[in-house]
Structure 1
């Protein structure tokens, strides 16, 4: 079984196992800091490394083999219970990765392997300096020349693990924000067009119909939405974005305006928790009222939430779960922190912040039978139970 796995996964496993073994040998240092012969994959250096690290390479392959076995068992267990697995694919990959090291020609790097431009987004809702992500950009002409083979392989691998995949920053299939590699913030980047239509045609042509959720939040363009709709991918609606004002941006995220072909979230991993978000809205409304001699202010996000949900806000996480569930959106996705009613101490990610992210952990025993029963009643009430 192990040998069959190695043969069937050779297209990525050989490079990854060598990369992982070399990285361990180098004390965890990024490949940019390795000796030139292996950093730039000189033939002599690669052959020598494969020979000298044969045992370590075999171990890395075995680790991947065991993971594949265990994941297959998990997926089979889920399927037996009518549960599908939704994966996540970021549009970019990290500079310090086997993908970039093994395929430098597909990325905007200099002769030493350093990025010429890096990824990010311009100033937005989350950060006035924009978000500097730091991934290397793609050399799109090289990808197009191969029929987007690297992308097809990447999607094929994702769908080998998951029943559906959320593509992060789907807007990047229309245009991407390029930032000079030495820039301290993302403020001074520029937009560059990307061949998203050709790429997605290559993927769907090779794989057939695929279940993709397009993360289409941020600096939305009509062209990006048209691309999403051309391929029939559901976009995302986020309830925390629905009450900022009475303009079209907020109405877009209000449940009464949803199409069926979308996925609704109370908030995503980039947002506050529902309880933390509402607590801050209430504090802001009280502060505004104090500035106006104690008079209650009707036109605040806090008041708009109360009017829309028709509640006092005392159980706001379940209020949002309810209006998401009763919407016509085909898919409603609820962060576990909102099921549990946790505050911002349980927030997962802070966009634009390099440290302190992805540290929250679900504690054993937190998901109780009582919680499951409440969720069951909600899904049955609004016709979402299978």
Structure 2
């Protein structure tokens, strides 16, 4: 993938303003594209758009489907415009916060109006576009709809379902299609609504020369349609429970490592079938996004595997992944290779070779650049490589202002000496913004919180914690539209945006 010098903003859909307790694919998303266009940015980077669940505190990185869209992101306003609901059927939920997402309240509200939309749809003649959608996405949609229906019927924990359902016996599955026909259709319909609204937003983005950067978590949950429908691609025992789970080894930050607990892939089986599930997963994401970030990239070289019975990640081991063979196949499928490697953290030589062999752009995070004055720190701007993306911070970091306020004296001194400026909590976000724009990295991306100068109250996620994450929202009046001209001028100054040449119409003789 050849990157063009440009910039972008990182903001998840849930963080957008709306009157319904959560950001969605409606009017605010379109207005944010206007903001990106007017301020001279080219990319809008998002977190995964897959469904989230209360059991995982609504983390977009812990979904029950690697293919489906999140129904909570469906816009009620667009449902009215699309004639799926009447305006009087969309009463705004009471006591919703404009600063935080209350997922419990939002879920109750959205389920109610989506059910109304389905009832209204069923009262009309069948939609040809719905049928086309179901045919186009059949490979994953059938399994996803069944998984959702069985979860409601038998409860969470698919390994405890009736054996014939757990093991996907043909007779039982065929019977389920008859017994739960309407419920299955409803789940498909919700997905249809999500993709219909998303495609409308993508079309508007393309008209305004805005591109989307998406995000793919490496692992998927055991409690997922993917694991249930493709059990042979995961290391599971005869009862379909994981024999080994994911994590990372002990390091400077954790004496016991991190035990993530998701099942690990059976790469031998995947390779035997030409990595078909992964190919479909990437293909699905490239239907949604122009570029995709591959989270936890180092696992494509080797991953840390821990026996499922362990309580910490200490007793794990590195297992090689057939990354070279995998990406050779992927390059045939997607010659442009529109992927970004999340290559943060401690890497080894095989990972670097894999990155180099397939020319993946990596990530540079400025929050990691300052500490002891070591000139070989790869995150210092003068060490950046052009074929890369520079970030002030990511969704897993503090905001730049919050980061600075927690910084030790040595790091603050280094930042001051490096920039030649008197840095303080009120201007640090502006200084890092300029540093990133100056970088030789072809693409510079900024969390919206950093363009706003927000403090730690605006953190999206704190790694190692599970509660109080993923809820931050920007209020309508907070989006810095007053700085549109300034952002545009800075993007022009540092070669990240070019003013379009005006078209001069010739006068008719």
Alignment of 1:341 with 2:447, yes or no, is: no
What secondary structure is seen at the aligned counterpart in 2 of 1:355? coil
1:263 aligned to 357, 381, 389, which one?
Answer: 389
Asked if structure 2 preserves the Cα contact closer than 8 Å seen for 1:151 and 1:199, the reply is no
Determine if contact 2:452/2:480 at 8 Å carries over to the other structure.
Answer: no
Give distance in 2, aligned partners of 1:266 and 1:330. 14
- Residue 292 of structure 1 aligns with which residue? none
Question: Which residue matches 1:296?
Answer: none
CA distance in 2 between partners of 1:357 and 1:369 (Å): 26
Aligned to 2:141: 13
**Shift, 1:377, TM fit:** 2.4
| Counterparts of residues 135-174 of structure 1 (less than 5 Å) | 135-174=262-301
Question: Aligned residue pairs: how many?
Answer: 368
- Deviations 1:338-357 (Å, cap 9, x if unpaired)? 11111112111222223332
2:419 matched to 1:309? yes
Which residue of the partner structure matches residue 79 of structure 1? 206
Is residue 25 of structure 1 aligned with residue 153 of structure 2?
yes
Aligned partners of 1:157 and 1:308: how far apart in 2?
A: 43
Aligned 8 A contact 1:94 1:100 in 2 = yes
Segment of structure 1 superposing worse, 261-270 or 125-134? 125-134
1:375 aligns with 2:464: no
Q: CA deviation at 1:102?
A: 0.1
Partner of 1:98: 225
Q: Secondary structure at the match of 1:332?
A: strand
1:183 matches 2:310: yes
Which string of whole-angstrom CA distances, capped at 9 and with x for unpartnered residues, describes residues 96-154 of structure 1? 11111100000001111111111111234554432222111011110010011111111
Q: Tell me what 2:162 maps to.
A: 35
**Greater relative contact order: 1 or 2 (C-alpha under 8 angstroms, separation 6 or more)?**
2
Compared CA separation, residues 269 and 38, structure 1 to 2 (3 A):
same
Once the 2 structures are TM-superposed, how far is the Cα of residue 35 of structure 1 from its aligned partner?
A: 2.5
Deviations 1:36-61 (A, max 9, x none): 22122223322222221110111111
Distance (Å, rounded) in 1 between the aligned partners of 2:484 and 2:154: 47
Q: Distance in 2 between matches of 1:104 and 1:207?
A: 26
Distance across 1 between alignment mates of 2:383 and 2:311: 40
CA distance in 1, matches of 2:252, 2:330: 32
Alpha-carbon distance, 1:244 to partner: 2.5
Corresponding residue of 2:106: none
The answer (yes or no) to whether the contact 1:126–1:351 under 8 Å persists in 2 is no
| Gaps in structure 1 of 5+ consecutive residues | 286-299
Q: What is the distance in 1 between the residues matched to 2:312 and 2:452?
A: 36
Query: TM-score, normalising length from structure 1?
Result: 0.91
Tell me the SS of whatever aligns to 1:333: strand
Runs of 4+ in 1 over 6 A off after TM superposition: none
Q: Is the 8 A contact 1:243 1:305 kept in 2?
A: yes
Partner of 2:364, secondary structure, is strand
- RMSD value over aligned CA atoms? 1.5
Tell me the equivalent position of 1:357.
Answer: 469
| Superposed displacement of residue 183, structure 1 | 2.2
Give the aligned partner of residue 68 of structure 1: 195
Structure 1 stretch displaced more, 126-135 or 91-100: 126-135
Separation (CA, whole Å) in 1 of partners of 2:493 and 2:281? 39
SS in 1 for 2:299: helix
**In 2: Cα distance, 1:132 partner to 1:346 partner:** 27
Distance in 2, Cα, partners of 1:374 & 1:175: 44
Q: Please give the secondary structure, in 1, of the residue aligned with 2:478.
A: coil
Structure 1 Cα separation of the partners of residues 167 and 484 of structure 2: 53
- 1:129 is aligned to 2:256: yes
Q: How does 1:210-225 map to 2 (within 5 A)?
A: 210-225=337-352
Q: Deviations over 1:4-59 (max 9, x none)?
A: 111111111111111112122235x1323323221222233222222211101111
